[in-house]
Structure 1
Amino acid sequence: MTAPLESTKTANYLPFLPLASELEALLQDPSVRVPPRQVLAWPGGGSLFVMPAHDTRLGMSKVITFTPANAGSARPTIQGDVLVFDLRTGSRLRVLDGPTVTARRTAAVSLLAAQKLAPRPDGPMLIVGAGVQGRAHLDAFVQGLGVKEVWIASRSADSAQALVQHAQHLGLDARWTARPQQALDHCPLVVTATPAQQVVLEGSLRPDHFVAAVGAFTPAMRELGPALCQQAWREGRVVVDTPDAQHEAGDLLQAGLPMDQMPTLAQVLQAGAARRGPVLFKSCGWAGWDLAAARLACPA
């Protein structure tokens, strides 16, 4: 497993607010090239992901494993590294801890989307899933949006309580809930961050809701109930992180939504945020986000 020092050093390179700004800058950089990621399924349900990208200065590849069977154990579900290279010389500049990059850039993407799209970005906030991504999103939204109140829902009461204690240590009004549907009524800012194969959040959305769904990244996975997704599409807007989500966003695919009509985050940022009704932001991951992290960790 990755040494804690490697994770800490990588996190120090990637503060959330500068990372969100770097993500926005990357979306405006026409030199960025991101080929399709390669996914090799392994016996037993695990997978190997190889995700390269480059701009005019840096090349990088994230090589990680995803092992769902590790959930609930001492081993992380995501392990691996991000290799960063100088395009001019081919020299390796840095090796970043893959799970830390994944957690922080995913939370920073959600932060960027919330900064631009959330009707009430200061919360209160509901987080469904108290693992690595849940904590990263809590930290990112506190630092970037000034969230003061958070509700935590998780299948594991111990994990939920640990995240509640972390939030309280940050000075938040934090509590655990066994009924995320009820907390949804109270919290206009929502993040779902579970490796779910079945629905973990249902209910009706208010016009001021912003939901960032980041846990499901294959067609077979889903976190959100079909009715919730359909309401967001019908009454507000559904935004995906990249065009790849058309084939990967299990929540939206299983809700029967017209994936070819979904605007991407880059398109929304270019056009400006039209604020009407609830917003559902669906994030499936992209090597471009890892390249933004590499750019921040290896400044010119």
Structure 2
Amino acid sequence: MVENRPMTLLDAQATAQRLPYPALLRQVREVLADPSVQVPDRLVQPLPGGGSLFVMPALDARIAMTKLITFTPGNAGTPRPAIQGDVVVFDVKSGERRLVLDGPTVTARRTAAVSLLAAQELAPKPDGPLLVVGAGAQGHAHVEAFIEVLGVQEVLVASRSAASAQALAGHARRLGARAKFTADADAALADCALVVTCTPAAGVVLSGIPRPDAFIAAIGAFTPAMVELAPDLCRHCASQGSVVVDTPLAAQEAGDLLQAGLDAAGFPTLREVLLQAQPGRRGPVLFKSCGWAGWDLAAARAAAG
């Protein structure tokens, strides 16, 4: 008689505890170098009312997972999160369901870990100061990750909601950083070597010209119709610095780059940056992240142990 192991259902807090940033960062690196990793195309099904249903599978030689979430932009600024759902993790050999992780927590933490990896590899000044545009779940995750892993000591927060920005700045101060709200994200670019944009991407939130030593992680826009960065800003980074994308899927999904008239397929991916010798970069670096089930697989690996 075969005895099945019990399945573990983790809430948001328990999921976060399974995903400490150093371990998650290590798994993101390892997923990019693991030849057994397979990531089928994700399914994005539009829903009535403007939301979307995402089905995102991935697997390696040991585990298989699927992230099943809804993305509802209309929930921004309400008590309901914009992202809701679960990540289900299976044992490849036995077929057993091992874990069910909180989908929004996985999404926030794995995205921050990918931005961390890009900053470690690409940022001229990875210790900041940091400007975060957007004070939702992704803003919180990036502030926590950048303070913990990169040692950022100064944070500026911009948001369409001053109250949310003040709350995130207060959270950053409790983590040991100097932090404050800024009403003008473009003006703050002059003071910040690290920038993260993590908004619902319903319109341009950053249009100023970044410093020559700036690193910008733009994560909010993951469809051609979404945008956070002004076209001139993207073109400036492409001509005066460099652009790196998270995966080749950015060629079809990176609204910021596509709306700037840039060929996203011509930019190096994060995998290429890690696996190939890269020449020294000059000028601002734009890292465009659109999301990938491989990042969720990295989180599943970290959580499964």
Q: Is the shorter-chain TM-score for this pair beyond 0.5, marking a shared fold? A: yes
Cα drift, residue 69 of structure 1: 1.3
What is the TM-score of this pair, normalised by structure 2? Answer: 0.95
Give distance in 1, aligned partners of 2:277 and 2:114: 17
Give distance in 2, aligned partners of 1:205 and 1:92: 46
Q: Secondary structure at the match of 1:198?
A: strand
What is the TM-score of this pair, normalised by structure 1? Answer: 0.97
Which 5+ residue runs of structure 2 have no aligned equivalent?
A: 1-9
Q: From the superposition, tell whether residues 286 and 193 of structure 1 become closer, same or farther in structure 2 (CA, over 3 Å).
A: same
Matched, 1:72 2:72: no
Matched, 1:52 2:51: no
Cα drift, residue 270 of structure 1: 1.1
Q: What is the 5 A alignment of 1:198-217?
A: 198-217=203-222
Give distance in 2, aligned partners of 1:237 and 1:51: 29
Deviations 1:16-54 (A, max 9, x none): 121111100110001100010001101100110000000
Tell me which residue corresponds to 2:299.
293
| Residue of structure 1 aligned with 2:234, choices 219, 229, 234 | 229
Tell me which residue corresponds to 2:287.
281
Deviations 1:194-242 (A, max 9, x none): 0122100011122200000001111000000111100110011100000
Tell me which residue corresponds to 2:45.
40
| Residue of structure 1 aligned with 2:257, choices 248, 252, 257 | 252
Cα drift, residue 260 of structure 1: 1.9
Tell me which residue corresponds to 2:6.
none
Tell me which residue corresponds to 1:124.
129
Give distance in 1, aligned partners of 2:277 and 2:238: 18
Give distance in 2, aligned partners of 1:219 and 1:31: 30
Which 5+ residue runs of structure 1 have no aligned equivalent?
A: none
Coordinate RMSD, CA, aligned: 0.9
- 8 Å contact 2:250–2:265 — kept in the other structure? no
Deviations 1:81-129 (A, max 9, x none): 0000000000001000000000000000000000111000000010000
Tell me which residue corresponds to 1:150.
155
How many aligned residue pairs are there? 295
Give distance in 1, aligned partners of 2:52 and 2:268: 29
Tell me which residue corresponds to 2:144.
139
Tell me which residue corresponds to 1:242.
247
For residue 77 of structure 2, what is the amino acid of its counterpart?
A: G
Q: Secondary structure at the match of 1:199?
A: strand
- 8 Å contact 1:226–1:252 — kept in the other structure? yes
Give distance in 1, aligned partners of 2:219 and 2:51: 19
| Residue of structure 2 aligned with 1:268, choices 266, 273, 282 | 273
More deviation in 17-26 or 126-135?
17-26
Tell me which residue corresponds to 2:111.
106
Tell me which residue corresponds to 2:190.
185
Tell me which residue corresponds to 2:180.
175
Q: Secondary structure at the match of 1:215?
A: coil
- 8 Å contact 1:17–1:143 — kept in the other structure? no
- 8 Å contact 1:235–1:278 — kept in the other structure? yes
Q: Secondary structure at the match of 1:223?
A: strand
Give distance in 1, aligned partners of 2:230 and 2:185: 13
| Residue of structure 2 aligned with 1:63, choices 64, 68, 71 | 68
Q: What is the 5 A alignment of 1:83-102?
A: 83-102=88-107
- 8 Å contact 2:74–2:82 — kept in the other structure? yes
Give distance in 2, aligned partners of 1:198 and 1:74: 22
Cα drift, residue 140 of structure 1: 0.5
